[in-house]
Every structure is written in structure tokens, then in C-alpha cells.
Amino acid sequence: MNASGRIDNPLEVIKLLLSDDHAESAVIAARLHELNLKRQSIEEEIHQEALSALKEKGYDHSVVLASDGWHEGVIGIVASRLAEAFYRPAFVFNIRDGIAKGSARSIPSFDLYSGISRCSDLLLSFGGHRQAAGLRLRIENLGEFEERMNRVIAETLSAEDLIPRLTIDATVDLQEVNFNLVKEISLLEPLGCGNPEPRLGTKGLEVMGPRVVGNRHLKMRLKHRSCTVDAIGFSMGDMIERIEPDAMVDAVYTPTINEWENRKTLQLHLRAFRPSA
């Protein structure tokens, strides 16, 4: 539903939620689905352009990228992906009429709003909170902003703070992952910042049929003894090269329910995996 507000008219979502006409709802839902596919395409295009630019430009304690023509409705998602991938605060700007308007995302150890505040004299406006922010500045100030932000982060964080950490809430056998467990996890909702999704870990899993699907998502089945469960790692398609034939892995995941054509199945949302020792 967010796609409508990001790249089109958010009123479509309101119409859907208020409609009591099935035919009308179906038309709006189809339209929202099309918008989401378009949003995914735009996001992936910008993400790939950003990665190419970053490969050429490099990065320091922060990732700072800017270009004209980057859709302002999705640059926040791209910033989030970059912050996660490179594990440091990320700033992604669209340039128009001499103004860089951007979205920023952070890592848990860095207070983004506080850091940006220390560069406020370079900005036209900014707002946000500890983990996400929006900001505007003149393009001639971008270079100095990046230098200042790198200094602020270097003064605030240690080298260890820039090393990704994955917290596992519990180690479980794959046989313990079932619909009842997913139902119990749903009782913890709403999940998000401050109340993250539980992450479970299981060792010694056999990988079956790994493949890349959709927008570079990694799909496979994981097996332990007689139990086999579908698994998907969003935006993890490049990691298929790490999977050896007849591989055994240790995996971290969140169990979910996948609904497709009126059929419900268990699916593991992969967070990370490594070869089993």
C-alpha cells in the first residue's frame, strides 16, 4: 500500500480501505499492485546506479550519494538498503534546481538526528529521529556535508561499532518451526524499531534447490532430518555463489506464513547463513 504514496496518489489507498464495493476494491487493488511493481522497478534501478556510483566513488564512515532523476519517493528505501549492506549511515539525494533533497538511514549505534544537527549550518532544512531523517541543502555544500558527517561519525563511533552484529533470540530445531510458533510470534506485534522481529538460528541444514527469483531474491528449501521448509532471502541473490553443492549451512531467520492462491505454507525469511562447521 505504501507504493501508492511513494510514487503516485495516496488517496487510492484510502479509497480501498473505505470501499464496501467488491468490484471497485478489486480494481483499486489491481492498480495498487501495478504501482508496487513499478515502485520495485524504480527502486532497483536506483539501487544499482547507487552501487555503481559507490564502486567508483568509494565511501568513508558514511555513504553519501547524489544524482539528478532519482525518485524522491524511493530514495529512503535505497538508503536503508545501503546502510544495511555497508553497515554505516547512508544518505541518498535527488538533485533538482540546485537543491539536493535526501533521505538518510542509520545503524543502531549512531543517532542520526543528533549527527545531522551538528551539520545544520550547511542545511536548508532537516527533520527525523535517531534512525531515519530527511534533509535539504544546496548542491555546492554536499562535499563539505560529507566531510563533516564522516568526522562526526568517526568521533562518535568506534571501529567495532561499524562491524555488523546479528543477534539471535533463540536456537531451535527446524522441527519446532510450525504454524503455532508463527501464531505466537504474531502476538508480539506490532514489530519494528524497539520491538524487532524475533530471529531464530538453526545449525546443520541441508540446502535444496537454491535459485534466484524476482528482484535478486534467493529461494531455497532447507532440510533437517525429515523436516523441509521453504526459505527466501530478499535481495540476497548474489549469495547463491557461496552455496557449494550438497552444502550444509547454519541459518538465521524469522518464520513467516506465505499465502499464495489461497494456500498457506511455512516460509523462513532468511537474515543470514554461513557454511556449517
pLDDT value of position 125 = 97
Instruction: Copy the grid coordinates of residue 182.
Output: 508463527
Residues 88-100: tens digit of each pLDDT: 999 999 999 999 9
Q: Is the torsion defined by CA of 157, 92, 232, 192 positive or negative?
A: positive
- Domains in the chain (CATH in brackets) are 2-162 (3.10.310.30), 170-275 (2.40.50.460)
Task: Indicate the pTM of the whole model.
Answer: 0.75
In the numeric block, the cell 535527488 is attached to: 94
pLDDT value of position 1 = 64
Residues 3-35: tens digit of each pLDDT: 677 777 788 888 888 888 889 999 989 988 888
171 alpha-carbon distance from chain centroid:
24
List, as one string, the DSSP characters of 56-122: HH--SSSEEEEEET--TTTHHHHHHHHHHHHTS-EEEEEEETTEEEEEEE--TTS-HHHHHHTTGGG
Residues 45-76: tens digit of each pLDDT: 999 999 999 999 999 999 999 999 999 999 99
A 10 A CB-CB count for 115 gives 22
A 10 A CB-CB count for 146 gives 21
Angle CA(270)–CA(40)–CA(242) in degrees, nearest 5?
A: 35
In the predicted model, residues of the chain with pLDDT beneath 50 are: none
pLDDT value of position 246 = 83
